[in-house]
Amino acid sequence: MRIHSLVSIEQCGSDDIVRILNKAKTFEENPNRRVLEGCIAATLFFEPSTRTRLSFETAFNRLGGKIVGFSDAATSSSSKGESLKDTILIVSNYADLIIMRHYLEGAARYASEVTAIPVINAGDGANQHPSQTLLDIYTILQTQGRLDGLTITIVGDLKYGRAVHSLIAGLSHFKPSFHFIAPDELRLPDEQKHYCDFHHIPYCEHSVFTEEIINQTDILYMTRVQRERFTDMEEYERVKNVYILRNEMLSGSRDNLRILHPLPRVNEIAYDVDSNPKAYYIPQARNGLFVRQAIICEVLNL
């Protein structure tokens, strides 16, 4: 059954994920199809974004639709005190689809419950980023030729990283093994560890980022420390540069290793890694266009 609103990756079974990835492949082959002629999407971004907003908007434009919305909530009437409910109900009068990023966890689910039109969660606080996960899984399949049985090492801010939380759930269908590398302050929350235990997914936690772990890894998923989620800036200063991947650390890595990052990068991947053929974060972001075209078609039943 098709997905009406995409608010959490946990809504997607493996069949849903495979269906969306197969559709994305057809968009990679031909991204310009005018199947959305006459459709309008509203992009409501209450938090900053480069990739997610621009790739969703490009996806919609390349499919022949039109976009309304805001990229800065300060220019919307939410800055005058309008509630999220009222904003969603008003925008639902104008658009066929809402694509929303919000700083509150659960905001996308709430929006999907107050409107009849589809809502796509473009990130809600530290909770979920399901379209990022689908493009991450598309990229993993593209680079590994398979999804099952991979060793995935996730490094950085595992506490606040919504892309991390979604990725663990999205990959749970494909028998992964995880290494989680984080400083004590940014360890993976118990909720995600219980999720792994419940789904019999093996994982090891580490606080030191070593070549020994990199050398056992198929996908190295680097993440940024999420400054905007900290209430204590001294704590942020202590952990912000805790792990930096440098090219020399990859010398013993597997041939099939690929380095992914949801981006933006701050300091956690040195620029000398960019020229290593195992660096794949720029093509990963490009895949966001095709996967988001597929997600849009999924929720609009096209």
In whole angstroms, the minimum distance from the beta carbon of 93 to ligand CP comes to 27
Which CB sits closer to ligand CP, 1 or 74? 74
**Both tokens of residue 158?**
């595992």
Q: Does 52 bind ligand CP (CB under 6 A)?
A: yes
**Contact, 164 vs 229, CB < 8 A?**
no
Which CB sits closer to ligand CP, 49 or 58? 49
In whole angstroms, the minimum distance from the beta carbon of 123 to ligand CP comes to 6
Q: Does 263 bind ligand CP (CB under 6 A)?
A: yes
Q: Does 130 bind ligand CP (CB under 6 A)?
A: no
Nearby residues of 184 by Cβ (< 8 Å), 6 or more positions away: 207
| Residue that is written with structure tokens 């968009």 in the block | 27
| Residue among 11, 26, 49, 177 that touches ligand CP (CB under 6 A) | 49
Q: Active-site residue 206, yes or no?
A: no
Q: Active-site residue 129, yes or no?
A: yes
Return contacts of 209-216, CB within 8 angstroms, 24+ apart: 209/155, 209/181, 209/243, 209/245, 211/249, 211/251, 211/252, 213/153, 213/179, 213/181, 214/153, 214/249, 214/250, 214/252, 214/253, 214/257, 215/252, 215/253, 215/254, 216/151, 216/153, 216/179
Q: Does 266 bind ligand CP (CB under 6 A)?
A: no
| Residue that is written with structure tokens 């056992």 in the block | 216
Q: DSSP H helical segments within 172-232, as ranges?
A: 190-198, 211-214
Which CB sits closer to ligand CP, 125 or 262? 262
Which CB sits closer to ligand CP, 41 or 253? 41
Which of the following is catalytic: 23, 53, 62, 101?
101
| Residue among 132, 217, 226, 287 that touches ligand CP (CB under 6 A) | 132
Q: Active-site residue 246, yes or no?
A: no
Count of C-beta atoms within a 10 Å radius of residue 282: 10
Q: DSSP H helical segments within 115-174, as ranges?
A: 130-144, 162-171
Residues in the chain: 302
Which CB sits closer to ligand CP, 92 or 122? 122
Q: Which secondary structure element, helix H or strand E, spans residue 67, and what is its range?
A: strand 66-70
Of the candidates 102, 219, 91, the residue with the CA atom closest to the CA atom of residue 151: 219
In whole angstroms, the minimum distance from the beta carbon of 55 to ligand CP comes to 8
**Contact, 258 vs 220, CB < 8 A?**
yes
Q: Does 262 bind ligand CP (CB under 6 A)?
A: yes
Count of C-beta atoms within a 10 Å radius of residue 297: 21
Q: Active-site residue 52, yes or no?
A: yes
Q: Does 50 bind ligand CP (CB under 6 A)?
A: yes
Q: Which range in 25-33, 47-55, 87-95, 276-284 contacts ligand CP by CB under 6 A? A: 47-55
Which of the following is catalytic: 23, 62, 102, 129?
129
Restricted to residues 57-116, the positions that interact with ligand CP (CB under 6 A) are none
Restricted to residues 145-204, the positions that interact with ligand CP (CB under 6 A) are none
Which CB sits closer to ligand CP, 42 or 92? 42
Instruction: Please report, as ranges, the residues that interact with ligand CP according to CB under 6 A.
Output: 49-52, 123, 132, 262-264
Hey, which residues are catalytic here? 51-52, 80, 101, 129
